[in-house]
């Protein structure tokens, strides 16, 4: 995740370019906001995503589409007005996201699944594989950051009867697009072994600055 901040001078009723550059990556996510948290422009899935764009900027913003693949995330703003005076922020990331942006871990009777820097507001659900009729007691909290992104965390309480199951935490946005990673944990009497399996999943993610994550833990109890 790259975050760039600066103050830029705008000329009334003229066009201006707010510069931003990033590392060259496929499936780039670009989000422009004001310090006042208004969404100026967003781009992902190889196209503009302006459903949540602030009305003040409608029809006045554009990216240099032919240069995005070369790392140019600069924004062009036309018809500059007095109300445009503010500090602008450029966020860039990839659809694969940053592994450090999410985590899931197990304690004796608790599984915690969390992810940070998601946009728009996500949903989180728990399930098992194979499917079961268990009442998965969980507590989920969502926090909105100063950058209008969302952090989500959920804890699942396990009982002694919930053995030999795959516990699935699904974090998704309104587009219901997900990326899947699988974590396998085997607990034995003598030692604890951990191995990670990353499965490539075709499925773009509705994101502004981080990845929507699909995580699986396998817990074997004795």
Same domain, 24 and 40: yes
Enumerate residues 6+ apart whose C-beta is below 8 A from 23: 2, 71
3-state secondary structure 151-184: EEEEEEECCCCCCCEEEEEEEECCCCCCEEEEEE
pTM: 0.42
* CATH (domain of 84): 2.60.40.10
At residue 109, the pLDDT reads 56
Same domain, 45 and 58: yes
Same domain, 90 and 103: no
Domain limit, last residue, from 43, 74, 94: 94
Full residue range of the structural domain in which residue 149 is found: 99-219
pLDDT tens digits, one per residue of 93-147: 765 543 333 334 444 456 778 777 777 788 888 887 778 887 777 888 898 888 7
At residue 94, the pLDDT reads 66
Domain limit, last residue, from 57, 73, 94: 94
Token pair in block for residue 212: 């929507």
Binned at pLDDT 50, 70 and 90, residue 185 comes out as very low
Same domain, 114 and 68: no
Number of structural domains (the chain) is: 2
Helices (H) and strands (E) in the chain, counts: 0, 17
Closest by CA position to 91, among listed 29, 40, 145, 148? 29
Same domain, 148 and 87: no
Q: What is the mean pLDDT of residues 1-13?
A: 44
Token pair in block for residue 70: 């070369």
Same domain, 83 and 120: no
Same domain, 78 and 127: no
Domain limit, last residue, from 61, 94, 127: 94
Estimate to the nearest angstrom the gap between the alpha carbon of 63 and the chain centroid. 21
Cα–Cα dist 144/156, whole Å: 22
Average pLDDT, the chain: 66
Cα–Cα dist 209/190, whole Å: 41
Q: In which residue are the tokens 């550059």 written?
A: 21
At residue 162, the pLDDT reads 55
Binned at pLDDT 50, 70 and 90, residue 195 comes out as very low
Same domain, 110 and 78: no
Q: What is the mean pLDDT of residues 156-164?
A: 62
Same domain, 183 and 132: yes
At residue 103, the pLDDT reads 39
Same domain, 105 and 43: no
At residue 104, the pLDDT reads 43
Same domain, 45 and 79: yes
Same domain, 37 and 114: no
pLDDT tens digits, one per residue of 27-68: 788 888 887 778 999 998 889 999 889 999 999 999 999 999
């Amino acid at each position: 995740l790259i975050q760039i901040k600066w103050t830029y001078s705008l000329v009334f009723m003229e066009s201006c370019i707010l510069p931003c550059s990033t590392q060259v990556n496929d499936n780039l996510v670009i989000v422009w906001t004001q310090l006042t948290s208004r969404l100026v422009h967003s781009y992902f899935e190889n196209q503009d995503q302006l459903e949540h764009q602030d009305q003040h900027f409608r029809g006045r913003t554009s990216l240099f589409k032919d240069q995005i693949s070369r790392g140019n995330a600069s924004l062009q703003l036309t018809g500059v007005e007095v109300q445009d005076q503010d500090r602008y922020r450029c966020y860039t990331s990839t659809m694969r996201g940053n592994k450090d942006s999410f985590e899931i871990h197990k304690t004796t009777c608790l599984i915690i699944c969390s992810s940070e820097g998601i946009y728009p507001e996500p949903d989180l659900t728990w399930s098992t594989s194979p499917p079961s009729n268990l009442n998965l007691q969980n507590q989920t909290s969502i926090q909105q950051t100063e950058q209008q992104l969302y952090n989500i965390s959920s804890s699942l309480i396990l009982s002694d009867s919930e053995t030999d199951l795959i516990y699935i935490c699904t974090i998704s946005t309104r587009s219901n697009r997900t990326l899947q990673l699988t974590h396998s944990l085997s607990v034995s009497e003598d030692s604890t072994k951990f191995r990670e399996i990353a499965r490539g999943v075709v499925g773009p993610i509705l994101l502004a600055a981080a990845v929507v994550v699909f995580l699986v833990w396998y817990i074997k109890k004795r």
